[in-house]
Amino acid sequence: VSPSVTGLPVVGMVGGGQLARMTHEAAGPLGLTLAVLVARPDDAAALVTPAVTVGAPDDPDAVARFAAGCDVLTFDHEHVPQHVLEGLRGPVRPGRSPLRLVQDKLLMRATLTEHGFPVPAWRRADSPQDVAEFAAGHGWPVVVKTPVGGYDGRGVWEVAGPAELPPAGWPLLVEERVGIERELAAVVARRPAGEVAAWPVVETVQQAGICVEVVAPAPGLCPSVADAAAAVARRIAEQFGVEGVLAVELFQAGDRLLVNELAMRPHNSAHWTIEGAVTSQFQQHLRAVLDWPLGDPSPTAPCTVMANVLGTPATRLADALPAVLGADPGARVHVYGKSPRPGRKLGHVTVCGPEVAETRARARRAARMLAGDGA
C-alpha cells in the first residue's frame, strides 16, 4: 500500500466482503484511502478499491505486511486469530480484547452474563448429556450454536429433542428457545477518546436465521424500550472499550429485552444509514477507528426500510437491475458484485419514506425483483 498523496491516513480493513466495499465507498468523500486485505482477488471490495492486498486473514506474515502499510487496522469480519493480532505494532480497532468477545459465542455469553447484561438462559454443553440436562430445566426445544465461525444462521439449530442434535463438534452453546416477539438492533459507534454516537434502534426481520429486512426506527417501539436498548449498547461499548461500530442484536419477548449477539464492525442492521441517516455507519466506522470526531447519527426521514437481496436459483441481476431502477426511481439499490448463489447476500435496497407500510412494500418489491423470486 502506498501512502496517500494528501497525507491523509490509510485505513486498512481485513476482509473484502460487502462491508469493506461499502466502507471504501464512504472513504471517498473524506479523501481517505481504504486498503483491503482480501482472501481472493475477486472479493466484493477488491473489485472497487485500488488498494488491494491478497492474503489470508489467518496468515501472520500476510496480515503483518498489510498492517505495516496502514495507519490503523480494522475488520469486516471476526476471523483474524488472536495470535495473528498479537504480533502487530500499529493500532488495531477494535482492540484485541473486545474482538475476542465476538470471536466466540460462549465467551460472549459468559462475559455479558458476568457484567449483568440480560441474555437468554444458556450453558456450555460438552456432550448430549449436557444438552439434555439443560433442556430438563428449560424445556425443549432448545437452540444450539457453534461457538466459532457461524453467520447468517449457519451454526444455529433449533433442537426439538435429544435425537435431533446437529452433527457439529463440541463444545456447543445451548440456549433457551426465546419466544421472540421481534428482533431489534441497537447500533452505536465509539471512538478511543470516548465519544459515543447512537443511531435509532431498529427492527430486524430474520428468515431462516438470515436478516431479510430492517425498519428504522423500529415501528411503534415504546420509548422506554428504545432507551433501554440504546443504553445497553452504549454500556457494552464503554464497558469493553469498543472502538468503531458496535451492533447489538436484541430479542424483545414480553417485558424481556435480551442481548443475542454483538458485532464490532459495520453491520447489516445499519445499512439503512447510508441514505437514512446524516452519517452512515461506514463513514462513522472510519471516523471512529481514526479517533476523529463522530458524525451526526440522526435519521433523515421518518422511516427508512432496507431489504436484503438474497440469491435464488432464478437470480438474473443483469435483467432485473434496469427493471427495478425503472419500476421505482426512488429506490436506492446496492449491488455487491458477488456471484449469485441461493441464500447469498448479493445486495440490498433502501427506501426512505413518510410511513412504514408503503416504504416497506417498495423496498420489498425491489429486493424481490432483484432476487428474481417472482413476488
Ligand X SMILES: Nc1ncnc2c1ncn2[C@@H]1O[C@H](COP(=O)(O)OP(=O)(O)O)[C@@H](O)[C@H]1O
Residues that bind ligand X in the complex, under the rule CB under 6 A:
120, 143, 145, 150-153, 156, 175-178, 180, 183, 206, 209, 249, 260-261
Helix axes 317-327, 356-371, angle to 10 degrees: 150
Q: CB within 8 A of 163, min separation 6: which ones?
A: none
**Which is nearer to Mg ion, 4 or 206 (by Cβ)?**
206
For the CA atoms of the chain, what is the radius of gyration? 20
Alpha helices in the chain (DSSP H): 18-27, 60-68, 82-86, 96-103, 105-114, 128-138, 223-239, 273-276, 281-289, 317-327, 356-371
**Residue 244, contacted partner among Mg ion, ligand X, none, CB below 5-8 A by kind:** none
State the cell numbers at 168: 457439529
**Which is nearer to Mg ion, 261 or 373 (by Cβ)?**
261
Give CA–CA dist 144/177, Å, rounded. Answer: 9
Q: Are 199 and 277 in contact (CB under 8 A)?
A: yes
**Which is nearer to Mg ion, 260 or 304 (by Cβ)?**
260
Give CA–CA dist 27/34, Å, rounded. Answer: 6
Neighbours of 101 (CB within 10 A): 22
**Residue 171, contacted partner among Mg ion, ligand X, none, CB below 5-8 A by kind:** none
**Which is nearer to Mg ion, 36 or 173 (by Cβ)?**
173
Shortest separation between residue 3's beta carbon and ligand X, angstroms: 37
Shortest separation between residue 261's beta carbon and Mg ion, angstroms: 5
Segment interacting with Mg ion (CB under 5 A) among 65-73, 195-203, 225-233, 258-266: 258-266
**Residue 132, contacted partner among Mg ion, ligand X, none, CB below 5-8 A by kind:** none
Nearest to 234 by CA among 292, 195, 178: 195
Nearest to 80 by CA among 34, 11, 146, 14: 14
Shortest separation between residue 195's beta carbon and ligand X, angstroms: 28
Ranges assigned E (strand) in the chain: 10-14, 33-38, 52-54, 72-75, 122-125, 142-145, 156-159, 172-176, 182-190, 196-198, 202-207, 210-216, 244-253, 256-263, 303-310, 332-335, 345-353
**Which is nearer to Mg ion, 48 or 232 (by Cβ)?**
232
DSSP structure class, residue 3: P
Binding mask 70-89 for Mg ion (x = CB under 5 A): --------------------
Shortest separation between residue 178's beta carbon and ligand X, angstroms: 4
**Which is nearer to ligand X, 24 or 145 (by Cβ)?**
145
Segment interacting with Mg ion (CB under 5 A) among 12-20, 26-34, 54-62, 255-263: 255-263
Shortest separation between residue 150's beta carbon and Mg ion, angstroms: 8
Q: Are 351 and 331 in contact (CB under 8 A)?
A: yes
Binding mask 211-250 for Mg ion (x = CB under 5 A): ----------------------------------------
Shortest separation between residue 112's beta carbon and ligand X, angstroms: 13
Shortest separation between residue 105's beta carbon and ligand X, angstroms: 7
**Which is nearer to ligand X, 44 or 185 (by Cβ)?**
185
DSSP structure class, residue 241: T
**Interaction site with Mg ion (CB under 5 A):** 261
